[in-house]
Every structure is written in C-alpha cells, then in structure tokens.
C-alpha cells in the first residue's frame, strides 16, 4: 500500500481554486486518490432552485461496522485582493516552516492529513474490523444548501450507518491540541421591516415614523438576558448587524425602516422558542405605535451537543499524548457541518490552528500538519483496536 504524504497532498488540493461553490475538478482528483486506497466512491451533485449546484463526495472503505467517518470541505472563501498576498493564493508555497495558500488552514490540509493517516493505517492494518468513510462537501463556506445537508439526506435514504464522525475543522485557537469542539451554538438571522406612513417632518402627526418602533424594538431585544449559559455553552447572545432606512431627503419621515440581527443560542433554546419570544415584542411595540411589521427568519442551525463518551475521551487522550496539551471540550465559535451530521451520528471536531483562516497569507505549520496526521492515524488505530 502506497503511503500518501500529507504536505504533498495539501499542496495539490490548494492548487484547485475552489471558491464556493466552484469545484474546479477537485472532487474527481480526490476521488482518484481514494480509489487507489481501495475506497468505493460516489460524487454527488445536488441542485436546488435559487442556488448554484454543488459537487460532494462520499467514499467508504469496508462494508462492516463500526463506520468511522471523517467530514470536511474542499471549498474555500475568496482570497480578496491577490496583491495583498505574498504568493498567489492558489500556488501554495512553503516559507519559514509554514505552508501558505488559500485553504491551507481551513481546511484542505486537514483533509490531506486524514487521507495520509488512512494510507499509513492501511499499510500497517490491511484487515481491520470496520469501515472508514469520508464525507467531503463543496458547500460549507457558502449557503450550505446543496452540501452536507443533502449528503446526509442521501445517506439516510440508503440507510448508511455512521457510528462516529470526526470533523476536521480548525478548532484550536493558538496551539495544536488546545481544543476539541463537542457541539455548537445555534445560529439564526432575523430581518425585520417596520411599515409606517411617509409624510413631511414638520407635520409628523399626518404620518407614522417607522424608526420610532424600530429603535424601541432593537433596544428591547438587545437588552434581553436570554440565559447565563451552562456547563457546555456560553450565554445566548443577540447582535444587531444592519440598520437601514431608505430615505434620500432629510425633511421626509420614511415609509419603512429595516434591521437585521443575528442570535447565537445555546441548547436551552430552540429557534422556535426564540422566534415566539421576539414576535411578542414586535407585536407589542408596533401595536402601541400603530405601525406594522414583517419578519423573516433564516435558521442556519440549531444548538447541538455530543455528550462526551468513551470515543471522545480516547481522542482527547491521543491528542494529549502527541501534543502534550490536554484539549478543552468546547462549543465556542461559529457553527459547522456537524449540525447536519448529528442527525445520523454522534461526533466531534478537531483539526488545525484556526488563527489564519480566511486571512491573507493563510498558513499552516508543517509541524502541526505532521502531528495532525499522527493524531488521525492514532485515532484510527485505537478506534478499530
């Protein structure tokens, strides 16, 4: 069995300019690599009206259980102004012990580390009791409509059993080994529009200023103390992200006013329970001010937690042994595709240091890349022991 070098594979993956939802041929490239290792593969392209089609890959080696799945994404965020980079972001380069390129950190290098770890594991354990699978999407950084969500639906229909999922997102704030993610807060965005009545500012009694209701609403929802958090989660938090009144004149009371807010909520709430609470406030204030409102919610995901179990602690111990750091079990940060996978499998997230993700000159330490490969290899050995 030929061993795959993690650095070489990371470079090869970075060379594909896979800005969401562009595939650029990367799924077929990875598919060939996995087929050589013995995986049975399926490229899954999903389409939905209003969204661009996305290619995903599901690969499995073995037919028996348990099935340990690695999940990740090959799409990346745009590089921004290429002139700000010290290199071409899609022509990876090694400088000062670091691999630089868009996706080096989030998260092509992690995928390369896992594939390399599998190749090393197979060279030592050709026959193992179980299956290894990979769920790779091209729609994690974008709308997340035609990506992992749809792959999970496909796996459910096929009655494909996954026993545990390892998501390779960059989970560590500063050093490899600091943090494992065992859950994530829910995320919901609300867009509220207040409808009043336009009129001359000198005759305000002839109209109804929607900004009056909007200001009162934003003050009240911002002051809500949803909870104090709990053992695994930070307190729920609401942030107003946009306020817009489309008015080109200074002497006109506008006919409408809009705002957008985002809530990151813990597992003491659901998106529905928060919607009910907010809608009561909107109704109360607009009724008092004789205005109207329209509200549109978009739920990115509900809060979730994988209760720590034997596999969690096994992975935690492996990371500690290799990095000399005991990783904290955390739910901080944004959300991840584990919010979709949790409906078919328990899991956790562990990958590289996230310091430079989405930044100019995104980079990964070569030492970290080697150690992550070693961690993934040890996880495979211990899981199938």
Q: Which residues are catalytic?
A: 75, 140
- Segment (H or E) for 304: strand 304-305
Check: CB of residue 151 under 8 Å from CB of residue 135.
Answer: yes
Structure tokens at 190: 């609300």
Q: How crowded is the C-beta side of 63, counted as CA atoms within 13 Å?
A: 0
Are 341 and 136 in contact by the 8 Å Cβ rule? The answer is no
Q: Scanning the structure block, which residue is given the tokens 């562009």? A: 22
CA separation for the pair 103, 24 (Å, rounded) = 14
> Biggest alpha carbon distance in the chain?
83
Beta strands in 33-185 (DSSP E): 40-48, 51-61, 67-73, 93-95, 98-100, 131-137, 164-167, 179-181, 183-184
**Can you tell me the distance from the alpha carbon of 119 to that of 271, in angstroms, rounded to the nearest whole number?**
42
Q: Rounded to whole angstroms, how far apart are CA atoms 123 and 200? A: 79
How many CB atoms are located within 10 Å of the residue 234 CB? Answer: 17
Name the residue among 149, 115, 127, 153 with its Cα closest to residue 34.
115
Helix, strand or coil, per DSSP, at residue 329:
strand
User: Per the structure block, which two tokens stand in for 376?
Assistant: 């993934």
């Amino acid at each position: 069995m030929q061993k795959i070098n993690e650095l070489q594979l990371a470079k090869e993956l970075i060379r594909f300019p896979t800005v969401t939802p562009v595939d650029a041929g990367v799924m077929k490239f990875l598919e060939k690599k996995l087929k050589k290792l013995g995986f049975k593969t399926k490229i899954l392209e999903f389409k939905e009206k209003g969204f661009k089609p996305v290619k995903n890959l599901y690969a499995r080696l073995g037919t028996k259980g348990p099935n340990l799945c690695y999940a990740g994404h090959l799409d990346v965020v745009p590089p921004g102004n290429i002139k700000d980079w010290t290199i071409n972001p899609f022509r990876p380069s090694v400088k000062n012990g670091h691999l630089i390129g868009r996706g080096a950190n989030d998260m092509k290098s992690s995928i390369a580390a896992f594939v390399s770890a599998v190749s090393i594991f197979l060279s030592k354990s050709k026959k193992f009791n179980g299956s290894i699978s990979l769920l790779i999407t091209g729609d994690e950084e974008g709308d997340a409509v035609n990506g992992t969500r749809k792959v999970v639906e496909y796996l459910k229909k096929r009655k494909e059993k996954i026993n545990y999922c390892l998501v390779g997102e960059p989970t560590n704030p500063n050093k490899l080994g600091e943090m494992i993610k065992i859950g994530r807060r829910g995320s919901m965005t609300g867009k509220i529009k207040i409808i009043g009545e336009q009129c001359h500012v000198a005759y305000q009694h002839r109209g109804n200023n929607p900004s009056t209701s909007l200001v009162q609403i934003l003050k009240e929802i911002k002051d809500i103390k949803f909870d104090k958090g709990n053992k695994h989660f930070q307190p729920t938090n609401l942030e107003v992200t946009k306020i817009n009144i489309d008015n080109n004149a200074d002497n006109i009371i506008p006919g409408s006013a809009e705002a957008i807010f985002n809530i990151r909520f813990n597992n003491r709430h659901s998106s529905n329970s928060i919607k009910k609470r907010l809608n009561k406030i909107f109704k109360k204030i607009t009724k008092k001010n004789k205005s109207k409102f329209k509200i549109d919610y978009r739920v990115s995901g509900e809060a979730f937690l994988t209760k720590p179990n034997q596999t969690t602690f096994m992975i935690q111990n492996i990371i500690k042994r290799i990095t000399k750091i005991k990783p904290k079990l955390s739910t901080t940060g944004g959300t991840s595709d584990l919010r979709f996978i949790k409906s078919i499998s328990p899991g956790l997230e562990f990958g590289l240091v996230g310091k430079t993700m989405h930044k100019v000159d995104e980079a990964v330490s070569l030492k970290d890349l080697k150690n992550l490969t070693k961690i993934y290899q040890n996880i495979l050995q211990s899981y199938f022991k």
